[in-house]
Structure 1
Amino acid sequence: MKKHVILLFALLFLTISNTKAQTIDTFFTEANSFFSAYVSKGEVDYTAIHKNKNELTSLLSIASDIKVSPSEATNFQAFWINAYNLAVIKGIIDNYGINSPLDKNGFFDTTTYSLGGTKITLNDIENKMLRAKFDDARFHFVLVCGAKGCPPLIAEAYMPGTLDAQLQRQTKKALNDHSFIKVSDGKVAVSEIFKWYKEDFVKNGSEIDFINTFRKDTISENTKLTYYSYDWRLNSK
C-alpha cells in the first residue's frame, strides 16, 4: 500500500511539473508570436493592438499564473523581461491615445499588473525581480519603457535557450548605434539610462569601460562624457 501511495505522489508531481512546463512554454511561444505581429523596427503598432485587445489580454492571463524560481535563472529572466515589455504595452493600451508613458501618473511606480502570481509594478519588475537578483547591466538594453529614448523593442520574445545571445546582441546593437552613443569632437553623449543606473555600469571600471566592452570602435578613456535628454515620446508606428 505504501509503495502505491509513493507512486501516486510521484505521478502527481510529474503531472504538475509537466503542466507548469507546458504553461511557460506556451507563454514564450505566444509572446514570440505577439511581438512578431505587432513590432517592427523598434516601433509598436498600438492601433492594431487596441483594435484587437484579446490577444494581449489572453497572453497576460497566461503570465498571471506562471511562477518561476530565480534558481531557474534563464527561465526566470526571460519570463520577467517579456512580462515587463508586455505590461508596458498593456499600460499604453489601457490609456490609449497618450503620447508618452509619462502622460499617465504612476505608469511605472503605482500601476500594478497581475504577473508571475503576484501584483507588481513595472519598477518592481525591473528593480526587484531582475536588478536585485542578477548582476547584469545588459537588462537595461532589453527592458523597453514604451518611449523612443529606450533601446528598441525587438520583434521576438526573449527565450531561455537563447537569452544570453539576445542580451549580448541587443547591448552591442545599442552601444554601437551612433544615435544612442553620440561621439564627436572628443566628447561622448550617452543616454540618461547611464545616469539613472550608474551603479550598474561602473562595477568593473568607468561607464566608458563598460561601453567599450561592446563597441567595435572603442572610445578613449579621456573622452568627456555627458548625458543627453531622454526622448519620452511614444515608440509607436
Structure 2
Amino acid sequence: MKYISIITFMFFSSLSLSAQELHVFFEKADGFFKTNVADGKVAYSKINSNKASLDEILKLAETISVSKNDAKDYQAFWINAYNLSVIKGVIDNYPTKSPLDHAGFFDKTMYHLGGKKITLNDIEHKLLRAQFNDARFHFVLVCGAIGCPPLINKAYLPNTLNAQMDEQTKKALNGSFLQVNTKKKRVKVSQIMEWYKKDFTMNGKTEIDFINIYRTEKIPDNFKLSYFPYNWNVNKQ
C-alpha cells in the first residue's frame, strides 16, 4: 500500500510539474509576442540583436509534454511552438527576403519541441491537420511571409483558443484574403485555399460556403472563384 501511494504521488507530481511548465511557456510566449509583434509584422531586427528571450522559450518547449487528448492544451502549444519556430528560422537566416530563399526551411530544418525532433511541416501537417479536421489552422499558423494571415501579438491560450481561432479566421476572410468584384461576380482568394482545398470543402461544403461562415458581407453562390498569388516576402516590421 505504501509503495502504491509513493507511485501515485510521483505520478501526480509529474502531472503538476508538466502543467506548470506549460503555463510558464504560454506566459513567456505571450510576453514575447506582445514585445515583438505589431500589426501582424515581426520586429526581426530587434529580436536578432537580442536572441536570448526567443531561445529561452524554445529551450523550455523542448521537454514540455502535451497530449492530443487535452485538445486545447495540445493545439495551443503546437500553434505557438510553430509560430515561434518560424521566427527562429528567419532569425537563423537573418537578414532574409523570404523563407523560401532557404532550402528546407519548412521541411528539412529540425526543431526540438515537445520531446520530439520535428520540422515545421511536421507540426502543421502531422500534429495538427492530421489530428483535427479544422481549416482554421490555416489562419493561425503564420509562415513568416506577408501572404500569411497576420500574426497576433499574444500567445494562443487553451481557454481562449476557440475564440482566437474564430477571430483570426474572420479577420482574414473579411480582409486581405479576399478580393471581391461585385460587378463581375468574381471573388479571388488567397492561394492557401487552393493548396489546401480539401480542408475548406469538407462535408460537402464549397469554398464559398466556408468563407460565408466567417464573412460579414456574404459572397453569392454564383460568384466565380479564383486564386491570387501568394506573397512570400518576409513579414518584417
Alignment partner of 2:154: what SS?
A: coil
What does residue 36 of structure 1 align with? Answer: 34
| Aligned residue pairs, count | 234
Give 1:182's match in structure 2, choosing from 166, 179, 183. 179
* Structure 2 CA distance for aligned equivalents of residues 170 and 126 of structure 1: 17
Alignment partner of 1:15: what SS?
A: helix
* Structure 2 CA distance for aligned equivalents of residues 142 and 11 of structure 1: 38
What does residue 218 of structure 1 align with? Answer: 218
Report the AA paired with residue 83 of structure 2. Answer: N
1:8 to partner: Cα distance: 1.4
The answer as to 2:156 corresponding to 1:158 is yes
Q: What 5-or-longer segments of structure 2 have no aligned partner?
A: none
Report the AA paired with residue 193 of structure 2. Answer: F
Where do residues 66-215 of structure 1 align in structure 2 (5 Å cutoff)?
66-177=64-175, 179-184=176-181, 185-204=184-203, 205-215=205-215
* Structure 1 CA distance for aligned equivalents of residues 173 and 6 of structure 2: 54
1:92 to partner: Cα distance: 0.3
1:6 to partner: Cα distance: 1.8
* Structure 1 CA distance for aligned equivalents of residues 118 and 65 of structure 2: 13
Alignment partner of 1:211: what SS?
A: helix
Identity %: 54
What does residue 46 of structure 2 align with? Answer: 48
Residue by residue over 1:180-236, the C-alpha shift from the partner in whole angstroms, topping out at 9 and shown as x without a partner, is 211013110000000000000001311011001111110011101110000000100
Report the AA paired with residue 228 of structure 2. Answer: Y
1:10 to partner: Cα distance: 1.7
1:28 to partner: Cα distance: 0.5
Alignment partner of 2:218: what SS?
A: coil
State the TM-score, normalizing by the size of structure 1: 0.97
* Structure 1 CA distance for aligned equivalents of residues 10 and 224 of structure 2: 61
4+ residue segments displaced more than 2 Å: none
CA RMSD of aligned residues (A): 0.7
State the TM-score, normalizing by the size of structure 2: 0.97
The answer as to 2:17 corresponding to 1:57 is no
